[in-house]
Structure 1
Amino acid sequence: MQAALENLSKEDLLRVVSDRDKALADRDEKIDSLTSERDRLKAQVEMLRRMQFGQSRERFEGDPNQTSLPFDVEPAAAEQQGEEIRQKIEYVRKRPNHKGRAKLPEHLPVVEIEIHPGGDLSDMVCIGREITEELECEPAKFYINRYIRYKYAAKNGEGVTIAELPERVIDKGIPGAGLLAMILTGKYVDHLPLYRQKQRFARENIRIPSSTIEGWTKEALIKLHPLYEQLIFDTKATGYLQVDETPIKVLDSDKKGAAHQGYYWVYHAPLDETVLFDYSPTRGGSAPLPILGNFKGYLQSDGYAVYQKYGEKKGVTHLACWAHARREFERALDNDKARAEKALLMIQQLYTVERKAREEGLTAEQTKELRLKESLPVINELGKWIFEEIKSTLPKSQIGKAMAYAYARWDALSAYLYDGNLQIDNNLVENAIRPVALGRKNYLFAGSHEAAQRAAMIYSFFAICKKHEVNPFQWLKHTLQNIMSINHKNLKDLYPQNYKDIVQKSNM
């Protein structure tokens, strides 16, 4: 080899050295690329482990080791500590910490049961009494409403009169408004599929075919359609909407034996505290068109591209979600802990300002002033830091993805500072979606696209009931009893948020 090199000309020798250096450079570049890919995959594995086995809450609390020093415990001290803990556990088992009996609700009816001592009490005088209360219940009470309408005939034989039958939810059907309200509340609030409710009827020796219960459910939901159409109209007219989507399986599919993947598009109006579920067979850009097609105002969403398109329309101000930005940095803790923690701590300061505004009960104008004073400097600092750091960060790394997510949406993330009524994140609409996720685990799918849309109606109203702390069963029973006879001009009176006023007036 040495002899061969000596016989080479200077130009050939330089070419060999150049080829060698190039090969070494290519090798080093490949090694760096593989190392980066390894680190990226390792970070993804760690993130998936935390998602599967870690705590479900998304709270960032900094490094817990900063408040304590690491040390090794002496074996004797550890044994003594274990014995003390065992004794405390035994003490708790023998003498539980009883904090007193819970106060019973005052609105419940009371059944008084008087108990006198046994034996002859004729020579004794009652000097007092002791009262003990317990909370008791009975299973659902089924009964039959039997309407008996008497006929009257004129004495001169010129005619017969009879009282009108009260409005029925299902014409010529046997279920009353209370029974229908119980079935719908059971399915869409308590997540009891209809076959389980059929079993409950059977325990009371009431035999009702599954097809009959399904028919009742369908007819009751159809009765709510006018109120739902009014809700759609009012939702489109609001000036601030939060939007998100969630999947729902539908049996109506072109593929035999397969379920169609449909979507509920959920719109939350924070100022009115109303929720609208709308079903679409697709997740494409046309799905929100019926609601957002002519929308003007503030639109808040996650980073899904469909929302970006609607957020760029004239007359629309797009708001991003700080909770989603925070999640991206939280996922980067295993990839780049130092920089991820720095970002999370600054985001935590933004949420501290929001908590302060809530706890002090600030008005919208006061909230805006507080944000401009305390949140704006933090946002500016975080923005400058991301702008500088993203230049030297691998785009495919998790910390790079987190920075890119926030950087691409910076104006939308900062837009909540415009008005004190705006929310810092999209969590309110995500909370409204949770009942659907619970329902999916129980009844698994909708029978058809039409059934999915009918379910969207009742999900909308039950979500509003939850926001306004209205009993969903009582609201639905009242609505089913009155929706067929109410004047269309007064249809809004049947909204869940107006139900409390009706109850209060009836109790006066």
Structure 2
Amino acid sequence: MKKQLEDLSKDQLIALFKQQQEQRDEKVVQLEDEVSYLKAQLAMFRRMQFGQKRERFEGDAHQTALPFEAAEQEVEEQQQEIKQKIEYVRQRPRHQGRAKLPGHLPVVEVEIHPEGDLSEMVCIGREVTEELDSEPARFFIRRYVRYKYAPKDKAGVVIGTLPERVIDKGIPGAGLLASILVDKYADHLPLYRQKQRFSREGISLASSTIEGWTKEALLKLEPLYEQLLFDTKAKGYLQVDESPIKVLDSDKKGATHQGYYWVYHSPLDKTVLFDYQPTRAAVGVKAMLDSFQGYLQTDGYAVYEKYGRKKEVTHLACWAHARREFERALDNDRARAERALTLIQLLYATERKAREEGLDARQIKELRLSESLPVLNELGKWIFKEIKNTLPKSQIGKAMAYAYARWDALSAYLYDGELQIDNNLVENAIRPLALGRKNYLFAGSHEAAKRAGMIYSFLAICKKHEVNPYQWLKYTLENIMSINHKNLKDLYPQNFKEKSNL
């Protein structure tokens, strides 16, 4: 080894020394990590040995072995304590701010008379106490008994007409199917959990049966969904966003495909359309947006940018997305990020003022031009000045570049008081989908994802128009097969609300 070292040049000796030093440093770091790990393990073992875990699990050597019973005196003391607590709960004063009970609910009266002989007494009044109560979902069998009649003097038989069934020759009624769909797609209760609930009520159903019912009920909504699709294409103001959904891939066992719901929201009449497509590429919106004319509001995704450049389209960007970029820059350049966020906050203060004062579209436009336009001019000039002295790859640089590249689209909401400052309304419509994904994880097929998109669309419309989704769906399933096709729009949730309020 000594001979080998003597043969090396000075530079080679220095390089070798550095290499050995680096190896020693690396070894020291590894040893320090190992020491830290062992110290942490030792601390954990000490806590297990001397801390709460020992007190909880090792017990006392003099402790009475199981099973054991408390002494009679302790039992009596405990019962007396419970009695006092019950009396305390009974006599607690009622809360003065008790919510008023809904007037539309049925009332079950329970009459309570004093005990003893009341024959010589006269009732002079009564006190009424109300409470809100509930029972589990009530299952029952609806039995149609159709009587047959025959003329006395000639041949022939007449029989009562059986109402239209949602599933021909199937056993579920419209109410049960509506309940299953609302539980799954509005309340995010997967079918296997619903099956467990049926079992608790003594109703045994195969998983394939419930899945089949769900599929058939969704298929009944297809004509109404196609009408919604047609009507959405004709809207002059749409907000668009997309959200992923995993779909089982039939070609690869156990594998999933990343599909997408393209969601279209019409702010003017509060309708929502979930359109499932297997891809996030431009072909996913081709059928919906190729012929679109009007205001199109989106985030900065390139597919939307392409349609925003069309002559017939006025592209609106989203201030919520622009704001998020500056929020991310707070750790990068707090001073300039806060300057931008303060100005953006003023834009939203104007929107809040318009809502609180209940202004109409014309008044909103005037308010924006007087209060928001000066803020936009100040923010735009500031970004134009600062972006020249900002590193493009820094987060503050990215935030400025995002707003700078879309400045016309970010300012376009000033054109009309009906336009929104951001895309939050369509994002809010997507949120139930995100909750559903956490529960059922994926759709069974592309067709199943398409069917789910139909019910998500109508449930979102129900929410925006404050319509009870169960009542609407039950009514729709009962009537969609017999309604005249010219009156199909009468089954839209917003129209059902108007009808139910008559």
- Shorter chain as normaliser: what TM range? 0.7 to 0.9
The counterpart of 1:416, out of the listed 408, 413, 416, is: 413
1:235 is aligned, of 232, 237, 244, to: 232
Superposed CA deviations along residues 332-371 of structure 1, whole A, max 9, x for unmatched, are 1111111000000000000011111111111111111111
The secondary structure found in structure 1 opposite 2:311 is: coil
The correspondence for 1:426, drawn from 418, 423, 426, is 423
Tell me which moved more, 188-197 or 128-137. 128-137
Q: How does 1:220-231 map to 2 (within 5 A)?
A: 220-231=217-228
Q: Determine the structure 2 residue equivalent to 1:196.
A: 193
SS at match of 1:267: strand
Task: Please tell me the residue identity of whatever aligns with 2:446.
Answer: H
* Preserved CA contact (<8 Å) 1:390 1:404: yes
> Which residue of structure 1 aligns with residue 254 of structure 2?
257
Alignment check: 8 A CA contact 1:241 1:298 kept? yes
Write the distance in 2 (CA, Å) between the matches of 1:212 and 1:105. Answer: 37
* Equivalent-residue separation in structure 2 for 1:110 and 1:99 (angstroms): 23
- Counting aligned pairs with the same residue, the percent is 80
1:172 aligns with 2:169: yes
**In the alignment, what sits opposite 1:388?**
385
State the distance in 1 between where 2:139 and 2:491 align: 26
Task: Give the alignment of 1:99-498 within 5 angstroms.
Answer: 99-498=96-495
In structure 1, the partner of 2:46 is none
Give secondary structure in 1 for the equivalent of 2:300. Answer: coil
CA displacement, residues 232-276 of structure 1 (integer Å, 9 cap, x when unaligned): 111000100000000001012544432111000000000010000
1:441-490 Cα distance to aligned partner (Å, 9 max, x none)? 00110000000000000000000000000000000000000000000110
What CA distance in whole angstroms lies between the structure 2 residues aligned with 1:458 and 1:466?
Answer: 12
Could you tell me the TM-score, scaled by structure 1's length?
A: 0.80
For 2:363 and 2:184, the matched residues in 1 are separated by 43
Q: Which residue of 2 aligns with 1:21?
A: none
1:71 aligns with none
The separation in 2 between residues aligned to 1:339 and 1:318, in whole angstroms, is: 27
Question: Matched residues in 2 for 1:314 and 1:250: separation?
Answer: 36
2:421 & 2:94 partners in 1: Cα distance?
41
Q: Aligned in 2, Cα 1:96/1:357: closer, same or farther, shift over 3 Å?
A: farther
Count of residues in Structure 1 that have an aligned counterpart in Structure 2: 411
Structure 1 contact 303–320 (Cα < 8 Å) conserved: yes
SS at match of 2:283: coil
User: Residue 501 of structure 2 aligns to a residue in which SS?
Assistant: helix
Measured after TM superposition, the shift of residue 128 of structure 1 is 1.8
Q: By how many angstroms is 1:99 displaced? A: 4.6
Distance 2:95 2:174 in 1: 43
State the Cα distance separating 1:157 from its structure 2 match. 3.4
- Per-residue deviation, residues 49-95 of structure 1 (Å, max 9, x unmatched): xxxxxxxxxxxxxxxxxxxxxxxxxxxxxxxxxxxxxxxxxxxxxx9
CA distance in 1 between partners of 2:484 and 2:105 (Å): 34
Q: Distance in 1 between matches of 2:184 and 2:469?
A: 12
How many Å separate the matches in 2 of 1:132 and 1:471? 29
Q: Distance in 2 between matches of 1:133 and 1:495?
A: 37
**For residues 99 and 409 of structure 1, do their structure 2 counterparts lie closer, same or farther at Cα, with a shift above 3 Å needed?**
farther
Whether the 8 Å CA contact 1:368–1:417 is kept in 2: the answer is yes
Deviation at 1:97, TM superposition (A): 11
Unaligned runs of 5+ in 2: 1-91
Check conservation: 1:253, 1:260, Cα contact below 8 A.
no
Q: Deviations over 1:398-452 (max 9, x none)?
A: 1111000000100000000011100000000000000000000001100000000
- Alpha-carbon RMSD: 1.3
Letter of the structure 2 residue corresponding to residue 476 of structure 1: L
Cα distance in structure 2, aligned partners of 1:255 and 1:96: 65
| 1:310 CA drift (Å) | 1.1
Return the TM-score normalized by structure 2. 0.81
CA distance in 1, matches of 2:357, 2:98: 33
Q: What SS is found at the alignment partner of 2:500?
A: helix
Q: Deviations over 1:306-329 (max 9, x none)?
A: 110111122001100000000000
Q: State the alpha-carbon separation in 2 of the partners of residues 253 and 160 from structure 1.
A: 52
